[in-house]
Structure 1
Amino acid sequence: MPDWAANLSWWTLLDFYIFFILAVFVLKFVLHSKRMLSMFMFYLFTVGIFYVASLLDLPLSKEVFEGLPLITLIFVIVIGAPDIRLTMESMWKETTKTGMLVMGTERTKNEIIKAAAKLSKERIGGLITIEKHNTLDQYASRAITLNADVTHELLLNIFTPNTPLHDGAVIVRGDKLICAGAYFILSSNDNFEKTTGSRHRAALGISEITDALTVVVSEETGSISVAINGVMTKMKDENALNEYLSLFMR
């Protein structure tokens, strides 16, 4: 029997099992969103610099970077507090819907396009998020429950300025408008212009952490954009929006 096998015991196996569970938890936490992964990679980079300085016995660099990993960890926790909170909430909740995936019908898709076109023409801001595999219950639970059929008249009424729900997003699940007045964590994407409105940042933010698609209408320009998988795309016309929704809702 090999020496390493002879030294194995139940306590050793338990030790490995605990380490495995911890590693899985950390990976699940880090890989939950692109922003969490970016912050984790930044932290590893600072730890790597300190390790290289120690390995090469560089006195000045070692002294400078000695407290950097701890400082960076505190910095990441403070700056990334909203993302960390959202990730922790999502990890303890079911983020993938159970049962068969149900997407909206052709009628629902057309109603959303009609609403977006009308909002664009009148230059009224709108935020319509369509759920797919990842459940949006944690946002819907804090919004105003509707559970109504999706119609362009209802969407126009919700986003009419100076009404109680016009600032938030509506969430569509299948053929139902499950809630209105939902609020998402804003994207921290630096590629956005500083003048970009909160609706667009909210649309991009929810697309970075779920597989939902969001149609956003700008009240300043009337332009229609689609946010999905962390990418914001401006629609040229209704046909382009129809193509995006057809691919997403099939």
Structure 2
Amino acid sequence: MWNPHAYLAFADERGRPYFDLLSRVGADAPRRVADLGCGPGNLTATLAQRWPQARIEALDSSPEMVLAARDRGIDANVGDVGDWVPKPDTDVVISNATLHWVPDHPRLLIRWAEQLPARSWIAMQVPGNFDAPSHRTVGELARRDRWAERLRDFRFRESPVKGPLEYADLLADAGCAVDAWETTYVHVLTGEDPVLNWIAGTALRPVRSRLTRAEWEEFRTELIPLLDTAYPRRKDGMTFFPFRRIFVVAQVN
């Protein structure tokens, strides 16, 4: 289960890449804009402000996220991004921090490029921090004897995403004009266990889903000092949390 409240705890930090991504989409008057992996809808709601004449289509695999989006007035639906097929009037497809959860998503991008009308746009952003200390620390703890059996299929041991150059090659070969880049945001976190609180709502979900409540509390207790070492708190109480993200904006020719 996704927890919309936990995800929104860092709404400003998680929202910034969304707007950086959309700033490179040059669509003037799209007929339909699809937000795939819309989450709780707080960012999807801004699409109607930018393109008031467009039909906004929103999709997420989490019923909890879809319910939160509907509470914001978004016409969101539960569905698998991997099964989504663009309607003929789709002029913009947005996928923000979602495709790394979708198996073989590069093939999906190629299919969208083939199915979308000419001059339409594909805009995607995925985290590129799978080799960051946060993920390495979780992986190392998961491999310890206490957790190795329970977490034997823990998947954050290798990156599920490509680099910007690989995505650029992929979509250029599919006949698109491509703009690809990466950015490392240095987020300023405060409070107790800030990095744990950040990854608990996203990267740690596969771990938590495999543990009982008591086991999760034990795992969490073991993880906190490891993360504190990897991300030391400054004397002023701030914790700097670098987060690399990969962006691709492609226009179908």
Q: Which has the higher helix share?
A: 1
Give the structure-2-normalised TM-score. 0.22
Scaled by the length of structure 1, the TM-score of the pair is 0.22
The structure that has the greater radius of gyration is: 1
